[in-house]
Amino acid sequence: MNKITERLLRAVSDWTGVPQDAAYNIREDGLCAGRQSTKNVLIASKADKPGIDVTVLPGSKGETVYIPACVTHSAVDDLVYNDFYIGENADVTIVAGCGVHADGEEDARHNGIHRFVLAKGAHVLYLEKHLGTGEGAGARRIDPITQVEQAEDSVMEMETTQIGGVDSTNRKMSARLAAGATLRVRERLLTDGSQQAVTDFDVTLDGDGSGCDLISRSVARDDSHQSFRSLIRGNRPCTGHSECDAIIIGHGKVSAAPELVAGHEDAALIHEAAIGKIAGEQILKLCTLGLTEEEAEAKIVEGFLR
């Protein structure tokens, strides 16, 4: 792998070198730059399209899988299909992450289509960071699609973070939950300049006692624009919560459109949205402690997105 890939990997997946006891697949400019399976996690290339199948055997505990992808120069439009099959009662952490580097006039883009199939009682912690770098005029674009199918009593936890430099992103997630299944999503977004970000959550609660908790925290600076949409359908006795909290700095714009559809009298669904600027008293308080206004603003944003 090249030096740009190494830098991006450290930023988006805390990669410090080849792990001895973890499965991994490194994608660089549309090709595999390294792969390792373990006795409980099997990674294989797809036969009909770009991407991999990741199988976590039933009953596996404490496994970690690294699947970061990097685009290291302009004029790359990477498309990958990754499917994850999580066995019954397995417990696994999946460290994803994507970095795109533009060094020329053309765009650098990664499109990741991830499908998760969780068997009964399975638990997945999915960690994903997105980053754009490079001085080229081409746009840095990341457009992930995540599809989740959860069997009875399974748990899917997703922590997704955009840490800077991505000019355009369209993030789509859909999920369908069986009885007793739980989905938790924590999204953090930072945009500046003229960057654009779209988030689209679509969750269907089909089983008794299923539940989801979708929380997005974002900061829109300068002339950037963010759009947040969430749709929760409760078809059985279930619980669903959607929350969008956003801070606007400068001329940033944020739109939020939470939607709930209750198809059962015992579906308990809630949505919340709050958009505003940083309170002046917060800035003033930090300035009295010796920080400049810019430093105070940065500290507030850092704490908000944590």
Burial of 2 (0-12, 13-18, 19+ CB in 10 A): middle
Domain boundaries, the chain: 1-160, 167-281
Q: Rg for the chain (alpha carbons), in Å?
A: 20
pLDDT tens digits, residue range 154-182? 999 999 999 889 999 999 999 999 999 99
**Res 40: pLDDT:** 97
φ and ψ at residue 302, rounded to 5 degrees = -60, -45
User: Ramachandran region of residue 257, left (φ > 0), alpha (ψ -120 to 50) or beta?
Assistant: beta
Closest residue by Cα to residue 230 from 282, 173, 268, 275: 173
**Res 216: pLDDT:** 95
**Res 229: pLDDT:** 96
Do 129 and 155 touch, CB atoms closer than 8 A? no
DSSP letters for 108-173: EEEEEEEEEEE-TT-EEEEEEEEEEE-S-SS-EEE--EEEEEE-TT-EEEEEEEE-S--SEEEEEE
**Res 296: pLDDT:** 79
**Res 283: pLDDT:** 77
What does pTM read for this prediction? 0.93
**Res 299: pLDDT:** 83
Q: Where is 9: in which H helix or E strand?
A: helix 3-13
For 197, the 3-state DSSP assignment is strand
**Res 305: pLDDT:** 82
Residue with the two structure tokens 């940065």: 298
Positions of the chain with pLDDT under 50: none
Task: For residues 267 and 248, give the distance between their C-alpha atoms in angstroms, rounded to a whole number.
Answer: 33
The DSSP bridge partners found for residue 245 are 217, 274
What are the angstrom distances between the C-alpha of 290 and each of 49, 216, 284, 285, 294?
Answer: 56, 31, 10, 9, 12
**Res 142: pLDDT:** 97
